[in-house]
Amino acid sequence: MKTTRRGFLFGGAAVAAGAAVPPFAALADAQPASVPVRRSEERESELIAKWDKATEAVESDVYKTYLLDGDTRGLKALEANALAFEKVMREVKATTVTGDVPAIWSVYNMGYIVKTRESLFSIDLNHRRGTEFAPMLDFALITHNHGDHWRKDFYDAMTGQGKIVVSNFLDNPRFNEMKGDSAKGVGTYRIKDVEIRTSLIDHSDAAWGIDFTMAFEIRIGNWLLYHTGDSGRGTEPKLVTPWGRPDLWLFFPGCGINTAKAVEKVNAKRIVFGHLWELGHKTRHRGRLDEPLIRRALAAARPIVQDTSLAFWGDRIV
């Protein structure tokens, strides 16, 4: 049996090459077109504990220095960040989509790459090497003006190449033409085979947080994706999906939102939590959505939507 090494969070056991594997099991080795990762709740629970330990070893200042120099300093979580990008880039190039259901990868936290039959786009892509995706992408979606959801070098690369960047705060010539008189970009748009309905939701219930985040309802044929960026306390009534029940909701339950109320409101067929272990936030800060918060959020969501899970960095979700 041909094998490949497991990543550092999984010990030294081997797995069959090309099999569906946990995150980072085959990051260092070339793989064929990927398959989505699905885990048991028991396996996921084990990984939550391991990831929490690995990420707590990274202080926010160390992470910010890594963003500048790329030196992982032997820290497992920073190695994961670097290897996840390589894995996603490799698999995006190798994967062909033939139906309405796209391929979706988690790059880091609330950042995703989505591939359809005709398009490649990003949502909240935030990685030190994110500009390498710019030549490949048709457009980018950015939910709000916080530095853990966008990078200026990526925005500059996309805009400089004449690409569309959809947001409620950036000056992008292509999107300016599309949105017309809508100051915050709220509307419905079509880019190639992707339809996008934007709306404003609250990042928090403080004055600055009201309507701060742009949510994206995304339709690809008959398949629906919902991404709500950072959604905070009291915004549950604004979580609306006129196009129907989402097939997948990419959800961050860490900004004070009532997870159970939000899950009942959206009623998605599947939920994947993102924005986990944000290394730019201080250790043991709730913005990292660390182990205790993750477990509470899962416990609140799963009695309502059983198919609720986490996206670890580098995972192919769909």
129-154 pLDDT per residue, tens: 999 999 999 999 999 998 889 999 99
Please report the pLDDT score of residue 9 as a whole number: 46
> Is 317 inside any structural domain?
no
Q: What is the largest CA-CA distance in the chain?
A: 61
pLDDT in tens, 75-107: 999 999 999 999 999 999 999 999 999 999 999
> Is 233 inside any structural domain?
yes
Please report the pLDDT score of residue 49 as a whole number: 92
Q: What is the 3-state secondary structure (H, E, C) of 2-48?
A: CEEECCHHHCCCEEECCCCCCCCCCCCCCCCCCCCCCCCHHHHHHHH
As for how many domains the chain has, the answer is 1
Confidence grade of residue 258 (pLDDT, cut at 50, 70, 90): very high
Q: Whole-model pTM above 0.85?
A: yes
> Is 1 inside any structural domain?
no
pLDDT in tens, 194-253: 999 999 999 999 999 999 999 999 999 999 999 999 999 999 999 999 999 999 999 999
> Is 19 inside any structural domain?
no
Residue numbers of the domain that contains 52: 41-310
Q: Which two tokens stand for residue 171?
A: 């000056």
Please report the pLDDT score of residue 150 as a whole number: 94
> Is 21 inside any structural domain?
no
> Is 262 inside any structural domain?
yes
> Is 28 inside any structural domain?
no
First to last CA, the chain: 27
> Is 6 inside any structural domain?
no
Q: How far apart are CA 142 and CA 111, in angstroms?
A: 9
Q: CATH number of the domain that 194 lies in? A: 3.60.15.10
Given a cut of 80, whether residue 51 has pLDDT beyond it is yes
